[in-house]
């Protein structure tokens, strides 16, 4: 039976007053968001859910949004885990996204109509298969057989311009449009309903590593740096990634969640 090494690390960074990131480790967990790190091993004997959220809106708005996203995910976790086929899982994840969006809009409205929201990157594991979903620019990577592959594609103005052949992907990541989000939880203030982007299914194989992260990592670290760390045998891979982001400047909150298949 396959096992999973799970590592999680989040840090305030060097320039922020609040940590607006949050995460989900197959259950809602009490944690200190300024600086938290944990690792554990578990057998792959049950259906599992992992997520990273990056709140936005300044001051407490982002914290409220990411905390709300995680709280609603906890309410939907059993339904997602029990989904008997992919089409059902997709429907439940989209119901979750709509519910989380609506609650975030309601909460943020209490702050005199201020705007806020959160990204989402979500990994659902069932029967040794990982299904990936996302909204915004938090990312998921797969490291397999020495190759790093980015599973998600940012929901930003920059990547819309990639589609229009205005930017290359490298130019998009460095452009002023890189953090202008086009989709996130909290974007649909009229509450029409929100669908999470489906990023594929991946059969788990021993040696695989999946990274879920906020842009506090990818803004500070190159893909080569990320690959080098995932290629290492680390005591706590998520902590190593966060430490590297901090060493490179730590301009934002940074959260990394690594799922290693053994």
Closest CA to 213 of 129, 157, 162, 142: 142
Q: Which long-range contacts (CB under 8 A, 24 or more apart) does 40-43 make?
A: 40/5, 40/6, 41/3, 41/4, 41/5, 41/6, 41/262, 42/3, 42/4, 42/6, 43/1, 43/2, 43/3, 43/4
Residue 85 CB coordination number (10 Å): 8
| pLDDT, position 30 | 74
Lowest mean per-residue pLDDT among 50-59, 64-73, 206-215, 248-257: 50-59
| pLDDT, position 58 | 63
Please write the tens of the pLDDT for every residue from 188-198.
888 899 999 99
| pLDDT, position 112 | 67
Span 67-77, mean pLDDT? 97
99-109 exposure pattern, b = at least 16 Cβ within 10 A, e = fewer? bbbbbbbebbe
For residue 70, report the phi and psi dihedrals to the nearest 5 degrees: -70, -40
Span 85-107, mean pLDDT? 96
Res. 152 pLDDT band, cuts 50 70 90: very high
Closest CA to 177 of 199, 192, 196, 155: 155
Task: Please state, in angstroms and rounded to a whole number, the distance separating the CA atoms of residues 167 and 174.
Answer: 10
Query: Residues 148, 231: contact at Cβ < 8 Å?
Result: no
Task: Please state, in angstroms and rounded to a whole number, the distance separating the CA atoms of residues 3 and 40.
Answer: 11
Span 238-248, mean pLDDT? 98
| pLDDT, position 61 | 84
pTM (2 d.p.) = 0.96
Res. 59 pLDDT band, cuts 50 70 90: low
Give the DSSP H/E element, type plus range, for residue 173. helix 169-174
Span 213-226, mean pLDDT? 97
Task: Please state, in angstroms and rounded to a whole number, the distance separating the CA atoms of residues 173 and 168.
Answer: 9
Average pLDDT, the chain: 94
| pLDDT, position 113 | 59
In the chain, what's the furthest Cα-to-Cα distance? 52
Q: Where are the alpha helices (DSSP H) in 43-117?
A: 61-82, 86-109
For residue 58, report the phi and psi dihedrals to the nearest 5 degrees: 80, 155
113-127 exposure pattern, b = at least 16 Cβ within 10 A, e = fewer? eebbbbbbbbbbbbe
Give the DSSP H/E element, type plus range, for residue 162. helix 157-163
| pLDDT, position 156 | 96
Residue 130 has pLDDT above 70, yes or no: yes
């Amino acid at each position: 039976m396959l096992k999973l090494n799970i590592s999680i690390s989040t840090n305030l960074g060097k320039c922020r007053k609040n940590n607006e990131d949050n995460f989900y480790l197959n259950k809602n967990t009490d944690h200190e968001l300024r600086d938290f790190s944990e690792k554990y091993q578990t057998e792959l004997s049950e259906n599992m859910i992992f997520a990273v959220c990056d709140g936005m809106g300044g001051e407490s708005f982002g914290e409220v949004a990411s905390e709300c996203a995680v709280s609603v995910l906890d309410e939907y976790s059993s339904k997602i885990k029990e989904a008997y086929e992919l089409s059902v899982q997709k429907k439940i994840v989209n119901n979750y996204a709509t519910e989380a969006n609506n609650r975030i809009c309601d909460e943020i409205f209490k702050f005199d109509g201020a705007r806020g929201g959160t990204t989402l990157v979500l990994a659902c594991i069932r029967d040794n298969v990982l299904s990936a979903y996302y909204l915004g620019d938090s990312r998921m990577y797969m490291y397999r057989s020495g190759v790093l592959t980015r599973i998600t594609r940012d929901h930003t103005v920059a990547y819309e311009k990639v589609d229009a052949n205005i930017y290359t992907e490298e130019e998009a990541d460095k452009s002023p449009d890189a953090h202008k989000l086009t989709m996130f939880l909290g974007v649909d203030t009229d509450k029409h309903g929100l669908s999470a982007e489906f990023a594929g299914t991946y059969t788990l194989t021993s040696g695989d590593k999946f990274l879920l992260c906020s842009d506090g990592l990818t803004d500070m670290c190159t893909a080569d740096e990320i690959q080098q760390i995932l290629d290492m045998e680390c005591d706590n891979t998520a902590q190593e990634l966060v430490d590297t982001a901090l060493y490179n400047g730590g301009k934002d909150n940074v959260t990394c969640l690594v799922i290693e298949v053994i």
